[in-house]
Amino acid sequence: MRIESRFELLREVRSETLQRAAEAGFDAEDAADIALCVSEAVANAIQHGNQGDPAKYVEVNFFDAPDQFIVEVRDEGSGIPLDLEGGRFVGAAEGLHLGRGMRLILGLMDDVRVSHDEGRIVLVKRKRGGR
């Protein structure tokens, strides 16, 4: 899905994510966690990546693999200098602290990959059992 950088569109993102996660076999609690994380990633893309410019877009792609559910969020920004291993920003952004949204994402998702040189974050939730 592709949306303009407008916070009022986060409801559509949450709804689509809940539906896709449920279709992938997640229960209501896990689907809600995934939707929360995707909403936070999109909110960050709107605010930080696209600087709130409604002329810029955020793209959300869903991939349902046999053992995991993957969501890619792309904005038109230049990426974020984040060292996920150390949980801190690096380079020009050194000294900044992770916001509530990124802490939620890191705590609820099984794997998070952030592009340092393009506006992209990949969220991964593993499926339990034989889903």
Summarised one tens digit per residue, pLDDT across range 12-32 is 999 999 999 999 999 999 999
For residue 93, is pLDDT > 50? no
What value does the mean pLDDT take over residues 47-70?
95
Class of 2-126 in CATH? alpha beta
**Global pTM value:** 0.87
Bridge partners (DSSP) listed for residue 73: 60, 121
pLDDT (0 to 100) of residue 98: 65
